Amino acid sequence: MLNAVIIEDERPALESLLNTLSSVTDDVQVTARLGSVKESIEFLSQPNAVDLIFSDVQLSDGLSFEIFNKGNIRIPVIFITGYDEFMLNAFEYNGIDYLLKPVDKESLGKALVKYKMLEKHFTNHHSLANLMQYIGNHKKRRMIVKKGMENISLRLDDVVLFYTENKIVYVLDRWGKKYLADKNLGELEDELDEATFFRANRQYIVNINFIRGFKSYEKVKLILDLTLPDINHCIIISQEMAPQFREWMHNA
């Protein structure tokens, strides 16, 4: 029996999914029905025997991507929504399939088959635990940032740098727009692709694709030259980090 959780804040959509699910298979047991980002993070952060999540994207308190971005949750997700604009985002947040509402039997059946094929592969060739590791440990290509009251899904390829100021972490994109991040630089460093992002010092993480070059500074340090015009940031690589930074640049 497959233990599943449904994250959906609209009652009619929830009932419709439950009915379609029961008509497609009797091998799925819905163990929890969650209706918000906050509730889902709290539930999924606790030890639970959950094999699969069905999740709407737009919830009453934000996008469901925040659940997997904040919660370090390693469970496969079938995203279900009324809009196709989030499709690319879904596969960066544990997504194995993306279904549009109203979900029909054929689409739901195919999504369950896809999950079972992944499960079988990892059970036969590695372990089922590796399926969760495979899905949860990939380096993200997008992140949720804030601009005022708005939650924005930002491509990491468009991020020039992350920096901290007065204990607040900001994100600067290629167009010079600034956003708020809800993680500290240490947490971001663990999630980001180390081939693309480098922790320059205690204040900055920088994207290699926006580094034009670097030069010596105070003999033993390095100062970066970024491609973004009119950027008001002076990024210094310390004496201790300079050798590692040079190697990172040369191996890129």
Per-residue confidence (pLDDT) for residue 150, from 0 to 100: 87
For residue 9, count other CB atoms closer than 10 A to its CB.
17
Cis peptide upstream of residue 229 (ω within 30 degrees of 0): no
For residue 205, count other CB atoms closer than 10 A to its CB.
22
The C-alpha atoms of residue 182 and residue 60 are separated, in whole angstroms, by 19
Q: Which two tokens stand for residue 131?
A: 């399926």
Show the domain range for 200: 142-250
Helical H segments across the chain, by residue range: 11-24, 37-44, 65-71, 87-90, 105-125, 128-136, 185-191, 242-250
* In a shared domain, residues 154 and 105: no
Per-residue pLDDT, averaged over 12-17, amounts to 94
Determine the residue type at 5.
V
Better-scored residue on pLDDT, 53 or 84: 53
Asked if residues 94 and 82 have their Cβ atoms less than 8 Å apart, the reply is no
Per-residue confidence (pLDDT) for residue 125, from 0 to 100: 44
How many domains is the chain partitioned into structurally?
A: 2
* In a shared domain, residues 21 and 125: yes
Q: Which of 136, 159, 186 corresponds to the end of one domain?
A: 136
Per-residue pLDDT, averaged over 72-94, amounts to 72
Per-residue confidence (pLDDT) for residue 128, from 0 to 100: 46
* In a shared domain, residues 35 and 114: yes
Asked if residue 92 has pLDDT above 80, the reply is no
For residue 76, count other CB atoms closer than 10 A to its CB.
21
Q: Which of 111, 136, 161 corresponds to the end of one domain?
A: 136
Asked if residue 65 has pLDDT above 90, the reply is no
pLDDT band, residue 172 (cuts 50/70/90): very high
* In a shared domain, residues 131 and 148: no
Q: What is the CATH number of the domain that holds 16?
A: 3.40.50.2300
* In a shared domain, residues 66 and 187: no
Determine the residue type at 151.
N
The C-alpha atoms of residue 47 and residue 137 are separated, in whole angstroms, by 19
Per-residue confidence (pLDDT) for residue 104, from 0 to 100: 92
Taken in order 13, 18, 21, 22, is the CA torsion positive or negative?
A: negative
Highest mean pLDDT among 109-113, 204-208, 216-220: 204-208
pTM: 0.55
pLDDT band, residue 230 (cuts 50/70/90): confident
* In a shared domain, residues 37 and 158: no
* In a shared domain, residues 182 and 149: yes
* In a shared domain, residues 34 and 121: yes
Highest mean pLDDT among 77-81, 113-117, 201-205: 201-205
Q: What is the CATH number of the domain that holds 226?
A: 2.40.50.1020
Per-residue confidence (pLDDT) for residue 45, from 0 to 100: 86
Q: Which of 136, 155, 172 corresponds to the end of one domain?
A: 136
pLDDT digits (tens, 9 = 90+) for 123-167: 544 444 555 555 545 556 788 899 988 888 888 989 999 999 998
Left (φ > 0), alpha (ψ -120 to 50) or beta: where does 148 sit?
left
* In a shared domain, residues 217 and 157: yes
* In a shared domain, residues 164 and 128: no
Per-residue confidence (pLDDT) for residue 76, from 0 to 100: 87
pLDDT digits (tens, 9 = 90+) for 94-121: 778 888 888 999 999 999 988 887 766 5
Q: Beta strand pairing status for 77-81 and 159-165?
A: unpaired
Per-residue confidence (pLDDT) for residue 89, from 0 to 100: 59
Determine the residue type at 150.
E
* In a shared domain, residues 8 and 74: yes
Q: What is the gyration radius of the CA atoms in the chain, in angstroms?
A: 21
